[in-house]
């Protein structure tokens, strides 16, 4: 049963309260906060707040079925779930609706939890060479969010998270169903739904082709000792399967599955959050790092990566730059015309690395969905975002996953060490010698609803200053240079620094990102002047 969500909901009063709320609380369709809302990674919420309840999933699943019917997607739908407490119930609800709508649903054997990248991989394999009878997928996950949260996202036939046009359609249709209490939603019993679904070997199919994208033999032939912490998530059965390959010298350091995530150290704010980019949340693995050459971690749906070596937890920005520099020198079959994708708040060290290889940078707004088409078409060699999410092409330049793959990036860290003899932090130190040493920070500032709305009205002309932190402003962007898409905020750049600002979709704040190649004092000056400039235009 390892890899299944343990059946001890009843043993936890908190979990039982949460699950009761999922079934019993009815969202108010007239309350905007309780309606279906798709952000950059699907619809998320909590049953206790009437933002992730059975009616939300009934409505979303029926809307997905309607969308498939409209688009003539008649292939299988791959349905995955993570280990959050609400995920199993939401998965069951979704399955009951999809089967009632005659969708051919593929689930893991024994209803095992299923990682996001494995669903993406399954979609791509099913659709290879096809133009009709296309497959798609749904994943029940709120990613690294706290245990009480739930989430659901839809992946289109290109294997990646649906773009804004698609999620907007699904959101609108789902809210129509929500408005009439889901009376028009089709459903069957759970027993009938489980009988109708077909089993799919997600893990076997994924691992069977891993050597087409990462050099497993190099890892096997090294003397590296690897540790992996799934952080109570869907990567557990994947790492367990990989650990059976004795040549990889891999130990799974935490095999606990607990819907309350009680084993997790609290994050910086005291909340439980399975964030593999947080030194606080990663305390367990950091305390064990001396046992391994490289220790690896993933969030609950395994779409993010955490890399630990003797120097500690790597900053995700730093590791992404290491990955790109390494891949551009160790994938000789890749075309020189392939672009490197980054979000506009990812470190500018990436810009310098890409330029040093005379490659083209493809800079997009926040959200991995902006990389999907490029990865799918084999035009982007790599797509990465500052929050530790990335994927890249196979050795022969084909799409591996078009959603973030945390397991893949962890294995790439091992390949880099095996091939170069450098731990990831040591490799980054070499990049610093070559390109400079940036310092990066993100802060939050309070914002009213009116101020948050004002971000949409910003343009390059909104910034009247000619200088920022003592240097000439070289660019002001409200659309991304790579694809021209609106960034939902603004980015102001100089030769050795920049700041970007965008409103939060869920809180009364806006986020300011800044980076300087001139040290901490200059970074603080960037942040201070950014707040001053924004106060004039919001």
* Given the residues 46, 143, 222, 493, the one annotated as active site: 143
> Token match 């800079």: residue?
363
How far separated are the first and last CA of the chain, in Å rounded?
A: 54
471 is catalytic: no
Q: What is the DSSP string of 428-454?
A: HHHHHHHH---EEEEEEEE--HHHHHH
CB atoms within 10 A of CB 55: 24
408: phi > 0 → left, psi -120 to 50 → alpha, else beta; which? Answer: alpha
Residue 122: which of 80, 93, 170 has the closest Cα? 80
Q: What is the DSSP string of 271-331?
A: S----TT-TTTTHHHHHTGGG-SEEEEE-TTS-SEEEEETTEEPPHHHHHHHHHHHHHHH-
Secondary structure (3-state) at 509: strand
User: How remote is the C-alpha of 291 from its chain's centroid?
Assistant: 28
Asked whether 203 and 80 are in contact (CB, 8 A), the reply is: no
CB atoms within 10 A of CB 287: 10
The pair of structure tokens assigned to 46 is 């909590």
Secondary structure (3-state) at 180: coil
Q: What is the DSSP string of 445-504?
A: EE--HHHHHHGGG--GGG---SEETTEE--EEEEE-TTT--EEEEEEEEETTEEEEEEE-
Asked whether 172 and 113 are in contact (CB, 8 A), the reply is: no
- Whole-angstrom distance, CA of residue 477 vs CA of residue 491: 5
Residues 6+ apart with CB under 8 A from 412: 214, 323, 326, 327, 392
Strand arrangement of the beta sheet that strand 42-46 belongs to = 38-39, 42-46, 149-155, 136-140, 77-81, 105-108, 198-200
**Cα dihedral 283, 271, 120, 379 in deg (nearest 10):** -80
The pair of structure tokens assigned to 271 is 């909340």
Which residues are identified as catalytic? Answer: 143
């Amino acid at each position: 049963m390892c890899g299944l969500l343990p059946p001890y909901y009843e043993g936890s009063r908190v979990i039982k309260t949460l699950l009761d709320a999922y079934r019993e609380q009815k969202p108010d369709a007239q309350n905007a906060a309780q309606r279906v809302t798709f952000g950059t990674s699907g619809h998320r919420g909590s049953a206790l707040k009437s933002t992730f309840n059975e009616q939300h999933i009934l409505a979303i699943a029926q809307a997905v079925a309607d969308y498939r019917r409209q688009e003539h997607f008649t292939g299988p739908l791959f349905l995955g779930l993570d280990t959050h407490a609400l995920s199993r119930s939401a998965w069951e609800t979704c399955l009951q609706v999809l089967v009632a709508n005659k969708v051919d649903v593929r689930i893991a054997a024994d209803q095992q939890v299923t990682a996001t990248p494995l669903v993406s991989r399954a979609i791509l394999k099913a659709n290879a060479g096809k133009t009709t009878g296309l497959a798609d997928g749904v994943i029940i996950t709120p990613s690294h969010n706290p245990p009480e949260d739930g989430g659901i996202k839809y992946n289109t036939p290109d294997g990646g998270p649906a773009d804004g046009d698609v999620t907007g359609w699904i959101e609108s249709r789902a809210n129509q169903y929500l408005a009439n209490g889901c009376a028009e939603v089709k459903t069957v019993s759970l027993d009938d739904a489980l009988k109708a679904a077909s089993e799919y070997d997600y893990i076997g199919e994924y691992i069977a082709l891993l050597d087409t994208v990462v050099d497993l033999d190099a890892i096997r032939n090294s003397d590296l000792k690897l540790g992996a912490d799934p952080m109570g998530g869907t990567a557990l059965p994947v790492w367990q399967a990989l650990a059976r390959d004795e040549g990889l010298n891999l130990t799974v350091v935490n095999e606990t599955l607990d819907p309350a995530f009680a084993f997790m150290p609290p994050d910086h704010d005291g909340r439980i959050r399975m964030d593999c980019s947080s030194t606080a949340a990663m305390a367990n693995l950091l305390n064990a790092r001396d046992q391994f050459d490289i220790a690896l971690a993933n969030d609950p749906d395994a779409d993010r990566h955490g890399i630990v070596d003797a120097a500690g937890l790597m900053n995700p920005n730093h590791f992404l730059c290491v990955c790109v520099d390494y891949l551009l020198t160790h994938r000789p079959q890749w075309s020189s015309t392939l672009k490197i994708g980054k979000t506009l708040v990812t470190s500018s060290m990436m810009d310098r690395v890409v330029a040093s290889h005379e490659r083209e940078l493809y800079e997009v707004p926040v959200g991995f969905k902006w990389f999907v088409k490029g990865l799918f078409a084999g035009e982007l060699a790599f797509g990465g975002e500052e929050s530790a999410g990335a994927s890249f092409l196979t050795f022969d330049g084909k799409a591996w996953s078009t959603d973030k793959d945390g397991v893949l990036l962890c294995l790439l860290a091992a390949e880099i060490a095996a091939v170069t003899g450098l731990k990831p932090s040591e490799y980054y130190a070499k990049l610093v010698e070559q390109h400079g040493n940036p310092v990066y920070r993100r802060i939050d500032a309070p914002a009213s609803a009116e101020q948050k709305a004002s971000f949409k009205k910003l343009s390059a002309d909104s910034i009247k200053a000619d200088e920022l932190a003592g240097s000439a402003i070289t660019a002001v962007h409200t659309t991304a240079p790579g694809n021209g898409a609106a960034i939902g905020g603004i980015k102001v750049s100089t030769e050795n620094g920049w700041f970007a600002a965008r409103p939060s979709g869920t809180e009364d704040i806006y986020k300011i990102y800044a980076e300087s190649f001139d040290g901490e004092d200059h970074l603080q000056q960037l942040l201070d002047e950014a707040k001053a400039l924004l106060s004039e235009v919001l």
